[in-house]
Amino acid sequence: MITIAVYGDSISRGVTFDENRGRYTYLKEGFDKLLERRGILKIINHSRFGATAEEGFEAYEKEPEADSKYIAIAFGGNDCTPNWQGVSENPEEYYPPKTSLASFESTLRRFVDKVKSLGQIPILVTPPPLVAERYVNWISKGLNKDNILKYLGDINHVYRWQEQYALAVQQAARRTRSCLFDLRAFFLKNRTLSNLYCIDGMHPNDKGHQWIARAIERMLPSLSRDIEDSTIYFDNDSDD
C-alpha cells in the first residue's frame, strides 16, 4: 500500500460544517480514512485548519515527514481570501488576499524544491472550486452583503478569483516539472457539484470526500507507473 504525506488546509484535513451541531467538525470518514480503510492508500495528514502555503512550507521545513516517499501539497483556499470585514465596511478600498498570487506560486516552487532536495517526490494539488452563491452567503453573515457584492462586481467573481490560485498551482507544477493532481478538474466534471459541499460552499461534505477518494483512486495507477520521471499530469476521467 502506497503512503502519501499531505500538507494542506482544512479541506484536506476533512473539515466540514455540521448544520445539526451548528459548527465545523471533522468528518469521521474523510477521504484519507476512506482510502485507508479500503486498503488502497495510507495518508499521513499534516493538514491544518486555516493554513496557507507558507505555513505548510514552514511546517515541512521544520520537521519533514520521513515516513513517506510522496509529499502532496494542497493549498490555495486560505491564501486567496481577503479581509471580508474590511470589504463589508468600505468596499471602495482594495483588500489584498492573505497571500498574493505571485507569492503563492513562489512558495509552492520553494516547497517543491525542498521536497526534491530531501529525495522525496512532490505532488501539487489544485484546490476544489467554490460554490459561489453559497460561499458569498456564508462569508456575508453578520456583514454587509450588499457591500461585499459591490466589491466583487458580481457573485461569480469570487469563483474566478479563487480559480487564479488553482492556475498558479498548475503553473508551479509546469515550471518545476513536478506532478500535478488536478482535483479541481475532477470536481468540475460532476454534474451535481453543489451536492458535494456543505452549507458554506467551500468545504466538501461526506459526498465530497467520497468524490475526493474516488479521484485519488483513479490517480494511483499513474502515480505508481509514471511519477518517477516527474513530468506526468493527471487527468481524471469520471462517469458521474
Q: Dump pLDDT digits (tens) for 175-192.
A: 999 999 999 999 999 999
What is the helix, strand, coil percentage profile of the chain, to 5? 50, 15, 35
Summarised one tens digit per residue, pLDDT across range 199-213 is: 999 999 999 999 999
Summarised one tens digit per residue, pLDDT across range 95-135 is: 999 999 999 999 999 999 999 999 999 999 999 999 999 99
Instruction: Give the Cα-Cα-Cα angle 128, 186, 104 (nearest 5 degrees).
Output: 40
Taken in order of first residue, the domains within the chain and their CATH numbers are 2-231 (3.40.50.1110)
Mean pLDDT of all residues in the chain?
Answer: 92
Summarised one tens digit per residue, pLDDT across range 153-181 is: 999 999 999 999 999 999 999 999 999 99
Is 46's pLDDT higher than 50? yes
Residues 6+ apart with CB under 8 A from 4: 41, 42, 43, 44, 68, 70, 71, 72, 123
- Spatial distance between the Cα atoms of 145 and 219, rounded to a whole number of angstroms: 40
pTM over 0.95: no
Q: Which pLDDT score is estimated for 228?
A: 47
> Would you place residue 219 in the very low, low, confident or very high pLDDT band (cuts 50, 70, 90)?
confident
Q: Which pLDDT score is estimated for 238?
A: 45
